Amino acid sequence: MKKDPGLTFRLFLMLSDACAIIFSFAFAYFIRTHLTPRPYYFTSEITQFTLTIALLVPIWLTILALFGLYQKNIFMARSRLPETLRLFVASIVGVMTLITYDFFAQGNLFPTRLIAIYSMILCFFSLFILRGLIRLIRRHLLKVSHRGAVRVIIIGNSKNTTYLAEQMTNFPDTGYFITGIVANSKYIPKKLRKYQYSSLKEALKKARPDAIFQTDERQANYVYKQAIQRHLLYYFVPSETMLSSHFGQPELIGNTPAILVKTTPLIGEAKIVKRFLDLLFGSLATIVALPIMCVIWLAIKLTEPKHPATYIDYRLSRYNRRFKLYKFRSMKPEYSGLTPEEAFTKMGKPELIKKYRDNGDFLENDPRITKIGRFIRATSLDELPQLFNVVKGDISLVGPRALIPGELRHYGDRSLLLSVKSGLTGLAQVSGRRDISFDERRALDIYYIQNWSLLLDLQIIARTFVVVLTGKGAK
């Protein structure tokens, strides 16, 4: 979805935690070497010590994440006691983990035990204080300017509409800001009736929401579909009789229970992890593939020196965003950039249009494709420049196929397909590519979106190597 409540805050929280940890260890080292009267028998190298700790900070952040210190319910809670207890235990575990790492690495990270003890105490207090400061800043921004808040429409004639509206208004820490309410006046608090709309259609047009909260069961399918089409978060607030349902992700908005119905698991922290892996593996793959790309570029230029070796096509990715997709040119220059209909008409063979479409957008001996183009298509080498798209963030390593704008009319579930980034490879590509029908490819893409996991991505990447090496489904 376009905006996840608290995601930006959690990112700043991770950054501040990293700074707090580095400061704590550096200050602990300074205390032992400059402020403690007891003599020490090691060379004081605070800069080297601090740099080593900075490199090990990801271990600490992982420990904090495992203790649930980046979950939404932590910073939305009114009491800081649960967070404080977790910070205390995480500080102990963090220092013990670094001591264990240092033992097996046979290093000398902690030349004296006092540095480790000081670090543990300082980490706890610095994390607690800095997190409290960031909370205050966030609370001020949410209360004064609603900056970073998720814009919300509440729809439904239910007492839950009243409760939810009051909770979001009275407790800005939830991170939600009401911009529209579609309900009878009796369910809307008086001070919020200025946000009342007569229909969801009008509210969606004027309130520019990021999320929809539905508090009754009327037209649930319609409301959910509107949220999906606009890539909005959709929450369903159940009645007491439905609280035992086991669908979606339950959350508390103040004291009101709501269920977040996810279009895809690929939201929030999952998007951050996926982007990090795309950047890491995409950069490594680009470096490895660069010599191959240079050879292909030269081969195309030597055979057709007056024409470009690469080709830019406009595709659609997450949230219907248009971007430039890079590929090696595999078609003859006179047909490059034309639709199949335009190209076959231009060459005087319009009868090939129907044959091409009926055969799943494929012709055995496509007259538009060059000799080198046939080879790089069969080996998928024409798609190597898309690694630059991955690094830029236009697409992901794994995802649904990037859609051509003109193809949208063929996709009944295009809103779902555009709810995540397109991919260089994907479940449909490794399941047969051109050997499976259009409807099967679309079904596989939707399955991937609704069942995403990091393990599934790794499986698809592994299968991609097998498919490319064997040429299965390539035409």
What is the maximal distance between C-alpha atoms in the chain?
Answer: 92
136 and 154 housed in the same domain: no
Q: Residue 158: pLDDT above 50?
A: yes
pLDDT the model gives residue 5: 55
Q: Say yes or no: 294 and 441 in one domain.
A: yes
- The verdict on residue 349 lying in a domain is no
Q: Based on the structure, what is the number of domains in the chain?
A: 3
pLDDT single digits (tens) 99-111: 888 777 766 777 7
> Side chain identity at 445, as an amino acid letter?
D
Do 43 and 162 belong to one domain? no
- 254 with 309, same domain? no
Of 144, 164, 181, the residue that ends a domain is 144
Residue 388 has phi, psi (to 5 degrees) of -65, -35
450 in any annotated domain: yes
What distances in angstroms separate CA 201 from CA 177, 188, 269, one per listed residue?
Answer: 19, 19, 31
Q: Is residue 357 part of a domain?
A: no
Q: Has residue 32 been placed in a domain?
A: yes
Torsion of the alpha carbons at 269, 271, 276 and 277, rounded to the nearest 10: 110
As a whole number, the mean pLDDT across the chain is: 84
Confidence grade of residue 405 (pLDDT, cut at 50, 70, 90): confident
Q: Is the dihedral of CA 383, 388, 392, 398 positive or negative?
A: positive
pLDDT of 436 strictly over 50: yes
Residue 346 included in any domain: no
Q: 5 or 132, which is more confident?
A: 132
Q: Are residues 116 and 49 in the same domain?
A: yes
pLDDT band at 245 (very low <50, low <70, confident <90, very high): very low
CB 236 within 8 A of CB 223: no
Q: What pLDDT does residue 353 have?
A: 84
292 with 376, same domain: the answer is: yes
For the chain, give the secondary structure using H, E and C. CCCCCCHHHHHHHHHHHHHHHHHHHHHHHHHHHHHCCCCCCCCCCHHHHHHHHHHHHHHHHHHHHHCCCCCHHHHHCCCCHHHHHHHHHHHHHHHHHHHHHHHHCCCCCCCCHHHHHHHHHHHHHHHHHHHHHHHHHHHHHHHHCCCCCEEEEEECCCHHHHHHHHHHHHCHHHCEEEEEEECCHHHCCHHHHHHECCCHHHHHHHHCCCEEEECCCCCHHHHHHHHHHCCCEEEECCCHHHCCCCCCEEEEECCEEEEECCCCCCCCHHHHHHHHHHHHHHHHHHHHHHHHHHHHHHHHHHHCCCCCCEEEEEEEEHHHEEEEEEEECCECHHHCCCCHHHHHHHCCCCHHHHHHHHCCCCCCCCCCECHHHHHHHHCCHHHCCHHHHHHHCCCEEECCCCECHHHHHHCCCHHHHCCCCCEEECCCHHHCHHHCCHHHHHHHHHHHHHCCCHHHHHHHHHHHHHHHHHCCCCC
Q: Give the model's confidence band at 474: pLDDT under 50 very low, under 70 low, under 90 confident, else very high.
A: low
Whether 70 shows a pLDDT value over 90: the answer reads no
Q: State the pLDDT at residue 110.
A: 79
Q: Side by side, which strands form the sheet with 150-155?
A: 176-182, 150-155, 211-214, 233-236, 256-260, 249-253
The last residue of one of the domains, among 198, 228, 260, is 260
The reported pLDDT for the residue numbered 419 is 84
Q: Is the pLDDT of residue 398 over 90?
A: yes
Residue 246 pLDDT level (bands cut at 50, 70, 90): very low
Q: Are residues 11 and 111 in the same domain?
A: yes
Both 104 and 193 in one domain: the answer is: no
Residue 475 lies in a domain: no
Asked if 240 and 312 sit in the same domain, the reply is no
pLDDT value for 412:
57
CB-based contacts of 18-23 (< 8 A; 24+ apart in sequence): 18/57, 18/60, 18/61, 19/130, 20/123, 20/126, 20/127, 20/130, 21/53, 21/57, 21/60, 21/94, 21/123, 21/126, 21/127, 22/50, 22/53, 22/54, 22/57, 23/122, 23/126
What CATH number has the domain bearing residue 177? Answer: 3.40.50.1980
Looking at the fold, whether 384 and 323 belong to one and the same domain comes out as yes
- What span, in angstroms and rounded, lies between the C-alpha atoms of 208 and 118? 50
Write the pLDDT tens digit of every residue in 247-286: 567 777 777 778 777 778 888 778 888 998 999 999 999 9
- Pair 474, 441: CB distance under 8 Å: no
Q: What pLDDT shows up at residue 146?
A: 77
- More confidently predicted of 399 and 438: 399
Say which residue, 70 or 38, is predicted with more confidence: 70
Query: Exposed/middle/buried for 351, CB within 10 Å: 0-12, 13-18, 19+?
Result: exposed
Do 20 and 119 share a domain, yes or no?
yes
Q: What is the mean pLDDT of residues 172-196?
A: 90
Share of the chain above pLDDT 70, in %: 88
Single residue among 86, 111, 144 that ends a domain in this structure: 144
**Would you say residue 354 lies in a domain?**
no
Residues 262 and 248: beta-carbon distance below 8 Å? yes
* Residue 101 domain boundaries: 7-144
- pLDDT per residue over 282-301, tens digit each? 999 999 999 999 999 999 99
Q: Give me the mean pLDDT over the 115-136 stretch.
A: 92
Q: What is the pLDDT of residue 244?
A: 43
Which pLDDT value is given to residue 257? Answer: 77
Range from 89-93, 241-245, 311-315, 450-454 carrying the lowest mean pLDDT:
241-245
Q: pLDDT: is 409 or 323 the higher one?
A: 323
- The span from the CA of 125 to the CA of 132, in Å, is 11
How confident is residue 386, by pLDDT bands cut at 50, 70 and 90? Answer: very high
- Of residues 144 and 334, more confidence is placed in 334
Check residue 383 and give its pLDDT: 92
139 in the same domain as 193? no
The answer to whether residue 428 sits within a structural domain is yes
pLDDT of res. 181: 95
Confidence tier at 397 by pLDDT (50, 70, 90): very high
